[in-house]
Structure 1
Amino acid sequence: MTTKTQQPIPWKTTIIASSSLQNHDVVRSLSRQQHRIRFSDSVESGAFIFPSSGTAFLVVYLDELPENITETGLFENIKTFTQVHRNSFLLLCAPFIGKRELDILSDIQQRFFGSNLKVLPVRNNVDIIKGMLTISKVTSKPHVDSIRDRLSMARAHIIERSPVWKMLKDVKLG
């Protein structure tokens, strides 16, 4: 949506965050963007929930994990997170991607293959915020309806103008 001067109206939403994140830089940045932050002790540590879109994000900083990640309970936390949240995203934050980071990413993808978990590697807090807000915005009403309508119109336009579709129609009629 735009105003008369064609500037986009900023999107603001309510976010439920783990109480463990009260003094976190990501929370401060989201608050500065005028999103409403609600803290809850019942939300997994490191998690953000966007009720308007039904998405949940679990942020894991790889540089804070010990060498042997199986001892941290990370996989159990992720499993619980995916069982609680139907539309779940894991944001793996690493300032650079080296062998260790790729091994952890690979382990997580293998363990949760076929689940509802989507894994997104990010480099910093700016990427975390951008990723969460982009995904949440496009999956919330009315944005999801608008995107669905535009995709439907694009599909109709392609079918209407495509020489391949015209040829298939001619073959079907003949």
Structure 2
Amino acid sequence: METHKETPPQWKTTIIISTSLQVLTQMLTAQQHRIRFSDSVQSGAFIFPLSGTAFLLVDPQDLPEPFEESGLIEKIKKFVQVHRNCFLLLHAPFNGKRELEILTLIQKRFFASNLRILPVRNNTEIVKGMLTIAKATSKPHVDNIRDRMSLARAHIIEISPVSPGDPAIFSFI
């Protein structure tokens, strides 16, 4: 007897993309996402309006030497000011010395900001990373995750031998 596992419907969304990023659109349209090109979106940017997330793709190979004079820090700074929930997709297929130096410089410069950095190696990882984050932060998925986290927290508190207000919880610190 065969059992058929019902697959959930594929998640689809609208993505606003910089006109300079038409290469990755084939992968996104193949997954039936709606693509809107915009000249007003910062070059290298992907915006997911329904989840409130934005991604900026940076390829260190495209940056001139010396890196500090490339204008990238100013570009990232503007991106962080415009988008509250933002991610930097650092395309580093080989993780060479230069890529690590650039990653370290960006991490140091934007340490206290709302920028999160996601190193990616290829177009598949770029698309998968963006879609995973955008889906997890969009409604109703974010509500489902929040509910499940709340239930997990309640369950942990319920089965814990230590009461929530007990100072002994922090005695190991």
Structure 1, residues 107-161: CA drift from partner, whole Å, max 9, x if none?
Answer: 0011112111111111111111111001000000000000000000011111111
Matched, 1:60 2:58: yes
Q: Percent identity?
A: 67
Match of 1:126 in 2: 124
Match of 1:99 in 2: 97
Q: Which runs of 5+ in 1 are unaligned?
A: 169-174
List aligned pairs for 1:1-174, cutoff 5 A: 5-22=5-22, 24=23, 26-165=24-163, 168=166
When the two structures are aligned, how many residues end up with a matched partner?
164
In structure 2, the CA distance between the partners of 1:90 and 1:167, relative to structure 1 (3 Å rule), is closer
Return the letter of the residue paired with 1:104.
I
Deviation at 1:166, TM superposition (A): 8.4
Report the 3-state secondary structure (helix = DSSP H, G, I; strand = E; otherwise coil) of the residue aligned with 2:138: coil
Report the 3-state secondary structure (helix = DSSP H, G, I; strand = E; otherwise coil) of the residue aligned with 2:12: coil
Matches of 1:130 and 1:137 in 2, distance apart? 10
Matches of 1:166 and 1:94 in 2, distance apart? 44
Match of 2:170 in 1: none
Matches of 1:149 and 1:67 in 2, distance apart? 48
Matches of 2:73 and 2:165 in 1, distance apart? 52
Deviation at 1:72, TM superposition (A): 1.8
Deviation at 1:165, TM superposition (A): 3.5
Report the 3-state secondary structure (helix = DSSP H, G, I; strand = E; otherwise coil) of the residue aligned with 1:145: helix
Deviation at 1:5, TM superposition (A): 4.3
Structure 1, residues 37-60: CA drift from partner, whole Å, max 9, x if none?
Answer: 000011000100000000000001
Deviation at 1:66, TM superposition (A): 2.4
Report the 3-state secondary structure (helix = DSSP H, G, I; strand = E; otherwise coil) of the residue aligned with 2:162: helix
Matches of 1:71 and 1:165 in 2, distance apart? 55
Q: Which runs of 5+ in 2 are unaligned?
A: 167-173
Matches of 2:88 and 2:149 in 1, distance apart? 27
TM-score normalized with structure 2 length: 0.89
Return the letter of the residue paired with 2:19.
S
| CA-based RMSD | 1.8
Report the 3-state secondary structure (helix = DSSP H, G, I; strand = E; otherwise coil) of the residue aligned with 2:144: helix
Structure 1, residues 49-92: CA drift from partner, whole Å, max 9, x if none?
Answer: 00000000000112222231122211111011111111110000
TM-score normalized with structure 1 length: 0.89
